[in-house]
């Protein structure tokens, strides 16, 4: 009798193990989804104006990708990104703007929002051009990526700047070969003058002395206006960063040499790189 009981017990345990193994083998597999369909409330063209920056420009709508698993439609959150690209750039950097969104299936661009995206995407202010837009859908950890259809529009963005753009820009300071401008009526030193390369950007290649101070000024020899670091004197990053009107002295890199300085009024930032 004892042998019979033991045999039945072993058989019962075996059934349990087999059932457990069968249960473990049942897994939920990702089966994909449907590419979102993107539509817009307007066909354009969009001629944008700073005076209307807070007004609605266009609303985009897209369909749910209906991500599927073997157990049915996914209950996971879906993450959306609107991608704006200058036509011909094929959604590649640097001519790409991306706006991450919550789980909504639509997004309203104000005139200001759209203008910022277009400038980020490489379009030129005041010039009519074309841009492409699409929606990227993805699950957590950027898995199961699906892209919508592409819509193309014509638009003219406006110049959007952090600070008003001066007509001219100069560098002055002990970091430069010409030193500090005295403001005493001396002749303009063109080696200290930036070239205005766009409606908002200035560039200059110049020799800088190591660990010395400098500032940007819009009028040669005049201290009634200046641009400097947003921190205290000489606390800025030598490779660049944000600047502001009436800011503190900037500090040059730790090694003397030729450097290219780019000052961008769209972003309110400047860069200093070896030339």
Per residue in 145-191, pLDDT (tens digit) is 999 999 999 999 999 888 999 999 999 999 999 999 988 888 899 99
Residue spans of the domains in the chain: they are 30-156, 170-274
Q: Which of 166, 155, 164 is nearest to 48 (CA)?
A: 155
Q: 156 near 119, Cβ under 8 Å? A: no
> How large is the average pLDDT for residues 29-42?
87
| Long-range pairs, 25-28, Cβ under 8 A, ≥24 | 27/70, 28/69, 28/70, 28/71
The answer to whether 252 and 211 are in contact (CB under 8 A) is yes
CA atoms within 13 A on the CB side of 77: 9
Strands 250-251 and 213-217: what pairing? antiparallel
| Alpha-carbon span 211 to 251, nearest angstrom | 6
pLDDT in tens, 45-57: 999 999 999 999 9
The pLDDT assigned to 47 comes to 95
Residue 1, pLDDT > 50, answer: no
Q: What is the pLDDT of residue 6?
A: 47
| Of 22 and 49, more confident | 49
Q: What is the pLDDT of residues 224-260, one digit of tens each?
A: 889 999 876 555 789 999 999 999 999 999 999 999 9
Query: Residue 29 — very low, low, confident or very high, per pLDDT cuts 50/70/90?
Result: low
* Measured distance CA(263)–CA(273) in Å, rounded: 12
Average pLDDT, the chain: 87
Confidence band for 73, pLDDT divided at 50, 70 and 90: low
211-228 pLDDT, tens digit per residue, is 999 999 999 998 888 999
CATH number of 30-156: 2.60.40.10
Task: Measure the CA–CA gap between 148 and 90, rounded to whole angstroms.
Answer: 14
Whether the predicted pLDDT of 102 surpasses 60: yes
pLDDT of residue 97: 94
Statement: residue 19 has pLDDT above 50: no
Are domains 30-156 and 170-274 of this chain identical in fold?
A: yes
Tell which residue, 213, 208, 171, has the closest CA to residue 192: 171
Assigned CATH topology for domain 170-274: Immunoglobulin-like (2.60.40)
């Amino acid at each position: 009798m004892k042998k019979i009981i033991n045999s039945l017990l072993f058989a019962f345990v075996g059934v349990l193990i087999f059932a457990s193994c069968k249960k473990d083998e049942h897994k939920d597999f990702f089966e994909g989804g449907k590419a979102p369909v993107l539509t817009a409330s307007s066909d354009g063209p969009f001629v944008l104006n700073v005076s209307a920056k807070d007004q609605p420009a266009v609303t985009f709508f897209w369909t749910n990708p209906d991500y599927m698993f073997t157990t049915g439609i996914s209950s996971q959150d879906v993450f959306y990104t609107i991608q704006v690209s200058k036509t011909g750039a094929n959604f590649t950097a640097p001519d790409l703007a991306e706006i991450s969104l919550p789980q909504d299936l639509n997004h309203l661009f104000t005139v200001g929002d759209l203008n910022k995206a277009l400038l980020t995407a490489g379009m030129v202010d005041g010039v009519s051009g074309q841009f492409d837009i699409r929606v990227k859908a993805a699950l957590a950890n950027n898995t199961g990526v699906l892209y919508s259809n592409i819509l193309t529009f014509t638009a003219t963005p406006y110049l959007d700047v952090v600070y008003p753009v001066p007509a001219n820009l100069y560098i002055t300071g002990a970091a430069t070969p010409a030193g500090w401008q005295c403001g005493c009526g001396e002749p303009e030193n063109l080696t200290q003058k930036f070239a205005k390369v766009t409606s908002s950007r200035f560039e200059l290649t110049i020799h800088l002395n190591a660990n010395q101070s400098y500032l940007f000024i819009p009028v040669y020899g005049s201290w009634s206006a200046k641009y400097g670091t947003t921190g205290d004197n000489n606390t800025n990053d030598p490779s660049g960063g944000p600047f502001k009107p009436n800011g503190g002295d900037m500090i040059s890199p730790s090694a003397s040499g030729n450097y290219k300085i780019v000052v961008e009024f769209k972003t309110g930032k400047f860069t200093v790189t070896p030339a």
